[in-house]
Amino acid sequence: MDWSGLVDGALFASVVRALIPVLLAAMGGLVCDRAGVFNVALEGLMLIGCFAAVAGSYYSGSALVGVLVAVVCATLLAAVLAYGSVSRKADPIVLGVALNIFAVGVTGFLLVALFDVRGVFQSPEIVGLPRVRIPGLADLPGIGPVLFDLSLLGYLALVLVPVVHVLLFRFPLGLRLRGVGERPQAASTLGVNPTAYQYGAVLASGVLCGLAGAQLALGNVVQFAENMTAGRGWIAVVAVMLARANPLGTLAACVLFGFAEAFGFRLQGNGLPAQITDAAPYVVTLIALLIARRHFSRTVATAATG
Amino acid sequence: MAAEPPAAPGRGGAPGRGARWRGAVGWATGSVPVSIVLALLIGAVAIVIAGKDPLAAYRAMVEGALTGPGLANTIQRAIPIVGLAMGLAIAIRAGVFNLGAEGQMVLGGLAGTVVALEMPGPGLVVLVAACLAAVLAGALWAALSAVLQTGLGVPILITSLLLNYPARYLSSYLVRFPLRDESSSMVATAPVPEDARIAPLIPGTSGLGRSLAESLGRDDVLVLVTRGVNWSILVVLAIVGLAAFVNRRTPGGLESGLAGLNPRFARYGGVDTSRLAVSTMMISGGISGLVGVMLVLGSQYRLIEGALVGTNYAWTGLLVALLAANRPLRVLVVGTFFAALVVGGEAMQRSQDVSAQISQVIQAAVIVLIAIRVRLPLPKRSRQVREPAGTADPAAVSEAETQVGRV
């Protein structure tokens, strides 16, 4: 077994690639959490995004159309979640879990119905997201190839972290959103409509999960595989919990997950069985939860522990 | 309950009658039938998108699930689904959201298979030992989640889900490498000894089986069912019966129901909710583990890579528990219904070339629609529950009423 060169620049590049879809979904979950909606449907929204992105790209021959279709489809599913959990006061956990299972079923069904394949759909006609090298910066030694050779969605994900942070903590919009999440009655007394903010948050998570799905299915790989999100949406939920819905902390949690996934791949290349390394991201996530215990965000903790 | 005429969908029955009666009528005539019909319509739309005829597809589904060998198949398939759903219902009723049935089932199947393969002794003893090992494995895996919540405050919802993946990959690794039977073309363990298997109710090779087949004909429903369904059905029926008894007649059932409805009140009333969460998770996981080993010893006779996960039973079971509102007898009814959807979906795939995953779409759609309480637009009853925005859940409140009416 060759253990030398286990950690190098290429590893960090794959860490960034692994974390981007999770980060996009986690930003969606974070906004919902701040608005007081516990969104456990990230997994399903993302999976719908994956399928829609591949289908859109395949039929149109354009990755951009794929991304747009992914956003539209994931947002439509998010609208069901918003209507159910905000307007109808449905249990967001029940609704979210059911939507996740619905997403697995519907994508598997349409995979056969539209493309006549089972399991994995690959085709040269699926146009993937191009990587955009930023001239100059990409040639910096060390961080250049890691941070400045991503797809546009990759840059968007990284830029979103400070943007969401500033919006949440420096703008009236963010203040109102947080107010709605923490004290809906108080917010409503001050003329802020909680329903509108909660709808907005859930729909935004739909958009972001659509983008996450597109990045996963057109960026990280160029294919659709049944259930290809493989728990990433749940890891995004955990990332938000770990960080108590703080954007910078969520980024850190996603880096941890990305590192576990990328490092797992490396170890696999070094002869460790794939089954052991595949479990690594989930185990690392669990261990992180144990270390961070009790520092979870209020909404998530109360919603999940009852 | 399901036989109630759907005369007034969307209404909760006449006020003034017994709460139990109202609960049953409300369940049967409320949003449930409306949701099922709408979900079937959603399924029909999906079938049209696939370019097939929905009516022919649904006919194939009904025939495939309820006639001849399909009926035996439906009953056999209902066993694990009802079993898993019952395990989950016990947990959810106590307010413990167990999303880890899949991992608990897989580890149960794994532990049971190892015992069945390695343990010497008479078949029945090995069989019982394998089942106990499976219960233990599932219960301990589930207890891990519970202890993480009660000790460290990490929600069971999250840990139980995440623990599915290590369980799945561990089992996959063991079946691929150390336990792999090289003589088989399948990626699977060696077959378990014949006398440690769970037998069909009346095996076709036995004297009774042969004379039944001769007198009734080989394709008679009774012959097919007694041959195709194995003794694990009794185990699952016993679990359902026991759960119904415990829920209604014992302090433990009262306490767990109370903890699910209002944990703070339960604690105030002297219920140790932490201990309850651990024991509930262990029961829930133990049942899942038992279902896992019964699938191996009763149907596949060896642990096949991915077979337990690939069935999706755990998630179907979760949907069943949600639709049945965690009530044991409803779990039985709904579980059989969902098993029929699964078997019918497979028949539809064979004859109409429509993917069997349509049944998963329909099942999940039913739960989504019920969660958002889709109803026919009929005049509402005047009973309105005031609630603080964003916290209370009228579905839980009305469910609470029927539950409280029972206990």
Can you give the pLDDT at residue B288?
97
Lowest-pLDDT range, A102-116, A287-301, B34-48? A287-301
Amino acid at A123: S
Domain ranges across chain A? 9-230
CB of A264 less than 8 A from some CB of B: no
Can you give the pLDDT at residue A5?
58
- Asked whether residue B13 is assigned to any structural domain, the reply reads no
Helix (H) or strand (E) holding B299, with range, is none
* CA distance to partner chain A, nearest, from residue B122 (Å): 35
- Asked whether residue B92 is assigned to any structural domain, the reply reads yes
- Mode of pairing for the β-strands spanning A131-133 and A120-121: unpaired
- Asked whether residue B366 is assigned to any structural domain, the reply reads no
Residue B101 lies in domain:
62-353
In percent, how much of chain A has pLDDT > 90?
A: 51
Is a pLDDT exceeding 50 seen at residue B389?
no
Average pLDDT over residues B288-305: 92
- Band the pLDDT of B385: cuts 50, 70, 90: very low
Condensed to tens digits (0 to 9), the pLDDT of residues A164-204 reads 999 999 998 988 999 888 888 888 888 888 899 999 999 99
Can you give the pLDDT at residue A302?
58
Minimum-distance CB partner of B364 among A98, A188, A294: A98
- Band the pLDDT of B13: cuts 50, 70, 90: very low
CA-derived radius of gyration, chain A: 19
* CA distance to partner chain B, nearest, from residue A180 (Å): 10
Query: Could you tell me the CATH number of the domain that includes residue B294?
Result: 1.10.3470
Can you give the pLDDT at residue A198?
93
List the structure tokens of B238.
Answer: 């016993």
Contact (CB<8Å) B355/A231:
no
Provide the domain count of chain B. Answer: 1
ipTM beyond 0.95?
no
How many whole angstroms separate alpha carbon B101 and alpha carbon B141?
Answer: 10
Interface of A with B in 58-97 (CB under 8 A): 80, 83-84, 88-91, 93-95, 97
Can you give the pLDDT at residue B1?
36
In percent, how much of chain B has pLDDT > 90?
A: 45
B161-177 as b/e: b if 16+ CB within 10 A: bbbbbbbbbbbbbbbee
- Band the pLDDT of B376: cuts 50, 70, 90: low
Is a pLDDT exceeding 50 seen at residue B120?
yes
Q: How far, in Å, are A11, B258, B323 from residue A208 at the CA level?
A: 26, 39, 30
Q: How far is CA B85 from the centre of its chain?
A: 3
Residue of B162, B262, B374, B375 to mutate, testing the A interface (most A Cβ within 10 Å of its Cβ): B162
Q: Which residue has the higher pLDDT, B30 or B347?
A: B347
Can you give the pLDDT at residue A272?
79
Is a pLDDT exceeding 90 seen at residue A264?
no
Q: Which residues of A touch B394 (CB under 8 A)?
A: 89
Average pLDDT over residues A210-234: 93
List the structure tokens of A35.
Answer: 């608005």
Q: Which residues of A touch B94 (CB under 8 A)?
A: none
Condensed to tens digits (0 to 9), the pLDDT of residues B62-88 reads 999 998 888 989 999 999 999 999 999
Can you give the pLDDT at residue B406?
35
Is a pLDDT exceeding 70 seen at residue B396?
no
Can you give the pLDDT at residue B405?
34
Q: Which residues of B touch A93 (CB under 8 A)?
A: 97, 157
Q: Quick count: other Cβ atoms within 10 Å of Cβ A118?
A: 12
Q: B306: burial class by Cβ within 10 Å (0-12, 13-18, 19+)?
A: middle
Is a pLDDT exceeding 60 seen at residue B203?
yes
Condensed to tens digits (0 to 9), the pLDDT of residues B306-350 reads 888 877 899 999 999 998 989 999 999 999 999 999 999 999 988
Is a pLDDT exceeding 60 seen at residue B119?
yes
Contacts of B148 (CB under 8 A, 6+ apart): A289, A290, B154, B156, B159
Can you give the pLDDT at residue A106?
94
- Band the pLDDT of B391: cuts 50, 70, 90: very low
How many whole angstroms separate alpha carbon A300 and alpha carbon A287?
Answer: 18
Q: Quick count: other Cβ atoms within 10 Å of Cβ B396?
A: 17
- Band the pLDDT of B20: cuts 50, 70, 90: low
Q: Which of A247, A277, A227 is nearest to A46 (CA)?
A: A227
Can you give the pLDDT at residue B18?
64
Q: Which residues of B touch A198 (CB under 8 A)?
A: 390
How many whole angstroms separate alpha carbon A293 and alpha carbon A71?
Answer: 34
Residues written for chain B: 407
- Band the pLDDT of A45: cuts 50, 70, 90: very high
Can you give the pLDDT at residue A294?
58
Condensed to tens digits (0 to 9), the pLDDT of residues A143-160 reads 777 788 788 999 999 999
- Asked whether residue B403 is assigned to any structural domain, the reply reads no
- Asked whether residue B19 is assigned to any structural domain, the reply reads no
Condensed to tens digits (0 to 9), the pLDDT of residues B228-283 reads 888 999 999 999 999 999 988 988 888 888 888 888 888 888 888 889 999 999 99
Can you give the pLDDT at residue B154?
85
Can you give the pLDDT at residue A202?
96
Can you give the pLDDT at residue B21?
66
- Asked whether residue B181 is assigned to any structural domain, the reply reads yes
Can you give the pLDDT at residue B400?
40
Is a pLDDT exceeding 50 seen at residue B302?
yes
